[in-house]
Amino acid sequence: MKRIVTVLLALLLLLPVIPARAAGSEITVYNWGQYISDGSDGYLDVIAAFEAETGIHVNYLTYDSNESLYTKLKTGGSTYDVIIPSDYMIGRLIEEDMLLELDFDNIPNYQYVDEAFRNTAYDPENRYSVPYTWGTVGLIYNTKYVDEADTGSWDLLWNSKYAGKILMFDNSRDAFAIAESLLGYSLNTTDEAALRQCAQKLVEQKPIL
């Protein structure tokens, strides 16, 4: 299978280095939906600005989960210059030899990346990825409709009092992370019994979503 060229590289990180060597060319980027502004929200149209600055045309495609990304890559027929998976998926792609190593001579801004985001467990030698963004998963609720007494735990998402008014992550990694946290397991557990228990907890939640 053809290996995919580079991962987790923000378009703006490319700005200082591409014009000199690739003006007038084209790159294909595969990213999460709604992660880069197209200007419709009143902010900068990032891709248009990049194209104007560099002369490089961007084919920008999106996906809705790491698993969708993986399936697309695994089935073949498509290649990308930049893909932006999450941490655990980068590790899987490295293990399956689906990525090419980065040329850091072309990424001078890497020197500004905080040490906390280098030498990660999924890419310990910093050979295949650079950080693009990071975030956390949390609870958001409307204080007009949710009782404060119910908000001290992830259990809120299983509270039948709010049936039909709960929105849950539609991807396995985040959904399992919430169930694991609620049940007291590590977010990275590989224990099959624990994972089965978490899966059952998520099944129990489904009727009230």
- What is the mean predicted confidence (pLDDT) over 35-44? 90
Higher pLDDT, 133 or 24: 133
Q: What gap in Å lies between CA 176 and CA 80, rounded to an integer?
A: 29
31 Cβ partners below 8 Å, 6+ apart? 60, 61, 62, 63, 82, 83, 84
- Asked whether residue 17 is domain-assigned, the answer is yes
- Give the chain's domain count: 2
- Asked whether residue 136 is domain-assigned, the answer is no
- Asked whether residue 137 is domain-assigned, the answer is no
Give the per-residue pLDDT at 24. Answer: 52
Find out whether 3 and 73 touch, Cβ atoms under 8 Å: no
Per-residue pLDDT band at 10 (split at 50, 70, 90): very low
Straight-line distance from the first to the last Cα atom of the chain, in angstroms, rounded to the nearest whole number? 40
- Do residue 176 and residue 85 come from a single domain? no
- Asked whether residue 178 is domain-assigned, the answer is yes
- What is the mean predicted confidence (pLDDT) over 13-36? 65
- Do residue 108 and residue 180 come from a single domain? no
- Do residue 18 and residue 113 come from a single domain? yes
- Do residue 54 and residue 96 come from a single domain? yes
Q: What gap in Å lies between CA 49 and CA 12, rounded to an integer?
A: 9
* Structural domain that includes position 152: 148-208
- Do residue 102 and residue 158 come from a single domain? no
- Do residue 96 and residue 170 come from a single domain? no
- The closest alpha carbon to 17, from 101, 129, 108, 120, belongs to 108
What is the three-class DSSP state of 147? coil
- What is the mean predicted confidence (pLDDT) over 37-66? 92
**Pure H helices in 75-133:** 87-95
Mean pLDDT of the chain: 87
Per-residue pLDDT band at 76 (split at 50, 70, 90): confident
- Asked whether residue 5 is domain-assigned, the answer is no
- Asked whether residue 152 is domain-assigned, the answer is yes
- Do residue 106 and residue 176 come from a single domain? no
- Asked whether residue 132 is domain-assigned, the answer is no
User: CATH code at 112?
Assistant: 3.40.190.10
- Asked whether residue 16 is domain-assigned, the answer is yes
Q: What gap in Å lies between CA 184 and CA 60, rounded to an integer?
A: 39
Out of 76, 96, 117, pick the residue that ends a domain. 117
Out of 76, 99, 117, pick the residue that ends a domain. 117
Q: What is the pTM of this model?
A: 0.73
Instruction: Could you list the beta-strand ranges (E) of 45-191.
Output: 57-63, 82-83
- Do residue 105 and residue 168 come from a single domain? no
- Do residue 104 and residue 169 come from a single domain? no
